[in-house]
Chains A and B, each alone.
Chain A
Amino acid sequence: MRRRRLVEFNLLTGVVLGIVGFYVGWWLGHLVKAPSLDYFDDTGQNDIALFVAYFTGVVGFLVGLGFANYPVQRMLGKPPSLREKETEGIGRYFGLCTDHKVVGIQYLIGIGAFIFIGGLNAMLIRFELLRPTHLAWNGNNYLTLVGLHGTMMMGMMTSGILGPFANYFVPLMIGARRMAFPRIEALTFWLLMAAGTILMTALAFGGFPTGWTGYAPLSVQANMGMDAYIAFFALVGLSMTLLGLNMLATVITMRAPGLAWGRLPIFVWGTVSTSVLMLLAAPVLISTLFMLALDRTAQTGFFNDQAGGSPYLYENLFWIFGHPEVYILALPGMGIVLELLPVFSRKPLWGYRLAVTGLLGITLLSFLVWQHHLFVSGINADLRPFYMLSTELISLPTGFIFVCALGTLWAGRIRLTVPMLFALAWVFNFLIGGLSGVFLSDVPSDVTTHGSFFSMAHFHYTIMGGLVFAFFGAVYYWLPKMTGFELDERLGKLHFWVMFLAFNSTFGPLLVIGFLGMPRRVVTYAGYLQGANEWVSVSAFVLGASMLVFVANLVWSQVFARVPAGANPWGSKSIEFQLPSPVPVHDFDRIPTFGPDPYPYGGIEEAGFDGTRPAVSPARPTP
């Protein structure tokens, strides 16, 4: 029997030590004296103290969770080990656990909670915009709401699919029993939870006025709430970097025999391409935020025009990260949709290699387009054609994905299940998002639409219409495998239709409102746009209500109804559905051997889905 400690390392200890660490850091930070910090006495704004407090708070939180034990053991010469795994019990969800399936479920719940908060912010924003003048919030509070909504969503959703679904299913899909670095896998999740909490504290320090982009010089001059933004995104960046590294190492080294690169499930390819972007783009964000923190504390002049710096440097560096970030959000959605379509069309994925080329093409090109975000920032006019063309070139590999999606649907035996409905909605939404993006990549039209609601509607079509719809498709598809219980089909369809219609009713008109000249991040607007804004706000409230349908479905299906899902509720040929539900702790008794076809649909056996030609040679029978 395991010996019980007086104080266990778990979430409760982590929270307590996190709070203690925060106040110790706050006190230590106030001890710092330097000539460049003289202004603190006048303003009471001590950014150094807050940064130190955030740092020590996060360290305390991680120590309380048990993340310091292993590094200390290693310093004393103990050999490397992955041994942190609790094999059963509810306690494993509230602490450091190295089971990739536990981490996947932790991500699903943790990220879901923060996204819910981000969604509530969106409701408050739309409430304010019911009137063209001030209704509930003043300008500063409105900007903070916009910033909290955008930052929370963009930060948390970077791991919205890789966190829950790639952590849970990629090891299964490649025939592995774990991730390459399980302790790092757990760390990425808890870093994200610390980050989300820190961002919420921005409200206690006056909020921040910059939106999710944090542009200088406003971000250099802003009050202490800006420090929460910096700490949040730096932690998210670190989490992303480590998540990408872990995913890539896992897929590179831990594929089962027979699983050549050309046989990987397309979702794994989506994960690989996203991970490359995470690994290489997120470090640029962290370094940029480090510079910003120095500007705010040590009074360096990276982004200060009067001190030999330039705010355009921030814009460049931010978008060197920021545009790949957009694809960090989009690529996993593409992977999921292409994974779902063959299952519910009963056909192999059409153009597998074309789809992989599309994913990798987007990955490469996403590093070469960042300056299109600066078209109206006074960049050298000679640079514009290159970035316009490179941006428009991205529509080529994106088109590959669409062709493969439509080719898979063509002449398929389509089943309109809830996951399939979400996958089809992705095709529709992302098409509108992509087409509206062409206008923003084109210099002449970008000059008039930049900074307007058109731009905002565009990226909501790509990110919410793309990623979030794919996310829900994945939830309905994989959650029965994760929990062992079905989700209610009727409530699921109700959720889908309300969400789909309300989403388009919200963001479709915003494209028009943007063309009519309504700017982003401004609390007031022209009176003639009130009718349209009221329509959009009401649609947004319905969109928000659709999430309540989902929550009701979740609670009803998983807590009350608890209808067993069985091992393979969708008749999928993917390997994870060949395993029992719930999946055993060690995934496979024997490492499986893969066959040549990752999507063996459409054969003779399709008549009854009897599984006589599985994509994987099943594990050897128990002796």
Chain B
Amino acid sequence: MTEFAHPATDYGVVEEEPPALLERNLLIGSRLWASSLVFFFFAFLFAYFYLRSLNQHGLFQPKGVSPPQAWGAVVAVCLAASAVLLSWGAVDQRSERRGLWRLKGVGALALALVAVVAQVVAWSTLGFGPTDGGYASVYLGWTGLYTIFVVGSLYWLETCLALSFRYRDEPFGRAEVEPGDASGDDYREAPDIRNAVHLNTAELAALTFTWTTMAVIGVVTWVVLYLA
């Protein structure tokens, strides 16, 4: 069978990857991850309404099973405030006010940590246990998994802050990276990012979207578990 002609492959002439590609990947990836996050917690929303509507043996939420309202409000407010602060910080980063972004980033991190601590305190002051009916199960499962995701997102926020602090003296837009530095491809002819600061901006935009989604889920959690 005749084969197609193809040009000889020369490892020395691999052309550059568009510097914007990593940024686009991060932005699209964050949106896809956010859609996935919604479905993680959709399962708990479904469980809540399913068990509530069934109310087997009147055991969905027996008397005395009620969450600590004050701690629930603290968690929701801290998460929402953290998301707002982070979004605000992302605007600062884009506007080259990187000192302000770091300040707001640390604030967002602190608020989220307060939310996690408040959730742990809420668990320890519950007037009910895991065996106390459908509501108790959903409450513990939902808030438990949510807290795990919040801690995971906090790790991401910490890496963004650490990168920003490490390169705090690096000016915007200066290309000092080696060819193929971001992609790890030694055959590249040109840099595939502009510099670390630039990637920090893209990563922060991606994180902001994810974090906002997490905060929205947190507020929904609060409305369903504490107010409904």
Q: Is the interface of A mostly helix, strand, loop or mixed?
A: loop
Q: Mark B7-48, 1 if CB is under 8 A from A, else 0.
A: 111110111010001101100110011011101111110110
CB-CB under 8 A from A87, the residues of chain B are 186
Bound complex: CA of A623 vs CA of B15, how far in Å? Answer: 12
Are the CB atoms of B130 and A566 closer together than 8 Å? no
Residue B126 lies at the interface, judged by CB distance under 8 Å to chain A: no
Are the CB atoms of B7 and A621 closer together than 8 Å? yes
Residue A284 lies at the interface, judged by CB distance under 8 Å to chain B: yes
CB-CB under 8 A from A298, the residues of chain B are 130, 140
A35, A290, A614 — which one has the most chain B CB atoms within 10 A of its CB? A290
Bound complex: CA of A261 vs CA of B150, how far in Å? Answer: 35
Bound complex: CA of A586 vs CA of B25, how far in Å? Answer: 18
Residue B121 lies at the interface, judged by CB distance under 8 Å to chain A: no
CB-CB under 8 A from A609, the residues of chain B are 1-2
Residue A143 lies at the interface, judged by CB distance under 8 Å to chain B: no
Residue B64 lies at the interface, judged by CB distance under 8 Å to chain A: no
Residue B50 lies at the interface, judged by CB distance under 8 Å to chain A: yes
User: Which of B74-82, B103-111, B154-162, B214-222 is the contact stretch?
Assistant: B154-162
Residue B86 lies at the interface, judged by CB distance under 8 Å to chain A: no
Residue A8 lies at the interface, judged by CB distance under 8 Å to chain B: no
Q: How far is the CB of A330 from chain B (nearest CB, A)?
A: 20
Are the CB atoms of A309 and B51 closer together than 8 Å? yes
Bound complex: CA of A84 vs CA of B135, how far in Å? Answer: 46
Residue A452 lies at the interface, judged by CB distance under 8 Å to chain B: no
B29, B137, B185 — which one has the most chain A CB atoms within 10 A of its CB? B137
Quick one: which of B14, B37, B140, B200 contacts A300, CB cutoff 8 A? Answer: B140
Q: How many residues of A contact B (CB 8 A)?
A: 83
Q: Is the interface of B mostly helix, strand, loop or mixed?
A: helix
Quick one: which of A286, A577, A585, A589 contacts B4, CB cutoff 8 A? Answer: A577
Are the CB atoms of B4 and A614 closer together than 8 Å? yes
Q: How far is the CB of A590 from chain B (nearest CB, A)?
A: 5
Are the CB atoms of A283 and B36 closer together than 8 Å? yes
**Nearest B residue to A85, CB-CB:** B184
Are the CB atoms of B183 and A82 closer together than 8 Å? yes
Q: How far is the CB of A179 from chain B (nearest CB, A)?
A: 9
- Sample of 15 further A-B pairs with CB below 8 A, known A180-B28, A316-B46: A36-B129, A77-B159, A79-B196, A249-B32, A281-B39, A283-B36, A291-B43, A301-B137, A302-B47, A308-B55, A309-B134, A310-B50, A317-B47, A588-B14, A590-B13
Residues of A in contact with B (beta carbons under 8 Å apart): 35-36, 71, 74-85, 87, 98, 177-178, 180-181, 241, 245, 248-249, 252-254, 279-281, 283-284, 286-288, 290-291, 294-295, 298-302, 305-310, 313, 316-317, 320, 566-571, 577-580, 584-586, 588-591, 608-611, 614, 618-623
Residues of B in contact with A (beta carbons under 8 Å apart): 1-11, 13-15, 17, 21-22, 24-25, 28-29, 32-33, 35-37, 39-44, 46-47, 50-51, 54-57, 59-62, 129-138, 140-141, 144-145, 155, 158-159, 162-167, 181-188, 193, 196, 199-200, 203
